[in-house]
Every structure is written in C-alpha cells, then in structure tokens.
Homo-oligomer: A and B are copies of this chain.
C-alpha cells in the first residue's frame, strides 16, 4: 500500500516537473496511451481523447508565458488496486489553484487518465470577484 502511494506521488510530482521544465515528451509519457483520457485546464472546456489532451499540453508548454507549477499538499485516495485520485494545490507564480489528478495503472505504470485544475478565489484579483454562489471562503 505504502509503495503504491509512493509510486503515485512520484508520478504526480513528475507531472508538475514536466510542466515546469516544458518537457512535452515527459508530459506525453505521463498520460495513458490505452485508456481514455480527459482534461480540464483552468478556465477551459473539457478535452477528450489523448490527441486533444496532448495537443493542449503542446500549446501550453510552448507558450511564451513561462511559469513554474508546484504541487502542494497532495492527498492520495486509492480507489482500487489500480486507480487513485490525487487532490492537491497547484502554485503558479502568485496564483493558487486546486486540482484533481486521476491515475490508473496501465501496463505496470501509473498514468494520468484525467486532470482538472481551477483557480482558488481570493488568490487572484479577478477570480476573487467572480459571482459564484457556490463560492466557499
């Protein structure tokens, strides 16, 4: 159990390292190649399928806006022998986000099958002003 959690945390950390180092090859290898994948970037609409998801990362990692992305306080929820959710904060410059990463064991490797991230209100000026009735502060 402990070894599995360590493996997942290492893969989760590799996701943020791939972002910060703008390593598209590493990013692509972190996503499932056989299972279906989906991704919701901050402010984005859902993307479905490996082609769309990897293409989105190619655009993001080649953007002239350079930023690091640090994972803070990751919490693992093992759903089964081969599925897990990691819920964490993401810090990008002065912006704080909340994120969901779903990992699956595919051919002996933990890979991402879904990712969603969104800004924490109050951490950026504009997000704090969002008319969100579900907002909890």
Contacts and interface: CB of A to CB of B under 8 A. Distances in A.
Interface of A: 35-36, 38, 40-48, 56, 59-60, 63, 65, 67, 75, 77, 79-80, 82-83, 85, 87-89, 92, 95, 98-100, 102, 104, 113-114, 116-122, 124, 126-127, 129-137
Given A38-B75, A113-B79, A65 B118 contact: no
A100 B41 CA distance: 12
Contacts of A130: 42-43, 119, 124, 126-127
A112 to B, nearest CB: 12
Contacts of A114: 77, 85, 87, 100
Counted per complex, copies of this chain come to 2
7 contacts: A38-B75, A40-B87, A41-B136, A43-B120, A116-B118, A118-B118, A126-B127
